[in-house]
Structure 1
Amino acid sequence: MTPKALAEKAAAAMWASDRASQHIGMEIAEVDAGRAVLTLTVRPEHCNGHGICHGGITFMLADSAFAFACNSRNQMTVAQHNAISYLAPGQEGDVLRAEAREISLNGRSGLYDVTVTNQDNRVIAAFRGASRAVKGAVFEED
């Protein structure tokens, strides 16, 4: 199986039970080894009291992209810690795109950067996540 095919199969297995990402309207746009792109159209219920996309929604999108990237090799992997910087507000109707890419993978520890942009390619947020591989696979390989 190619690395891309493995990433796609792992993403499909994770997506099948990822009710949180599905519930808020995320979609998987791309996956590959150590990389994932998820999108989300900002709906009224995603907006906070200032009328802009709630930071928790932006964080959730970035965190989900991070999760699909760090589980792309079919090794069950969880977040160890992460941080986000909000650089511009997301607006209702924006199509947010979170692109996660692997910076480093050394043993059981990985480091990933996620950039969240809108449809105009404006950077909304920068997220960095550290991962830790745990026991198990995302799906059973044949």
Structure 2
Amino acid sequence: MRDSIVEKVTADPYAKFLGIEIEKVEEGYAEVSMTIKENMLNFHGAANGGVIFSLADVAFAIASNSYGTTAVGINVSINFMKAGMAGDHLKATATEVSKNPKLGLYRLIVTNEAGDIIAAADGMVYRKKEQFG
């Protein structure tokens, strides 16, 4: 299953556009990373919140689909704690908190290379009956 997810995310046009790389995949867990580029900054000169969310969302998608059953996000609540800046290498982790046949809850954390928390989020998925892939 890991190879199928890695293949899908590697081919994902948006993740590819952002330069997101997959670092680690386990059942119910994922780590991804990317470097903030100048074209990802907002008018304050910091990383756009949508870019940070997108990184967390890719980790969330990988972790929640890691069992082979299609999982789709139904809610995410994100808190931005610190600005990401151009050149920062950010890492997002998604860790499963709770899983049942229909729903899954995941904790998403985005950090910079110094280990500072840039954003923290909770995401919930609905698990469909179909297999992923």
Normalising by structure 1, we get a TM-score of 0.90
Secondary structure of 2:69's match?
A: coil
Secondary structure of 2:79's match?
A: strand
Stretches of structure 2 lacking an aligned partner (at least 5 in a row): none
Against the structure 1 CA distance between its residues 16 and 28, is the aligned structure 2 distance closer, same or farther, given a 3 Å change threshold? closer
The one-character-per-residue Cα deviations of 1:82-119 (angstroms, maximum 9, x if unpaired) are 11000000010000000100000012100000100000
Counterpart of 1:19? 13
The sequence identity of aligned pairs, in percent, is 34
CA shift for structure 1 position 127: 1.0
- Residue identity matched to 2:24: E
Equivalent of 2:67, from 60, 63, 73? Answer: 73
Counterpart of 1:44? 38
Equivalent of 2:117, from 120, 123, 130? Answer: 123
Runs of 4+ in 1 over 3 A off after TM superposition: none
CA shift for structure 1 position 32: 0.3
Alignment of 1:1-142 (within 5 A): 6=1, 8-139=2-133
Normalising by structure 2, we get a TM-score of 0.95
CA shift for structure 1 position 16: 4.5
Aligned pair count reads 133
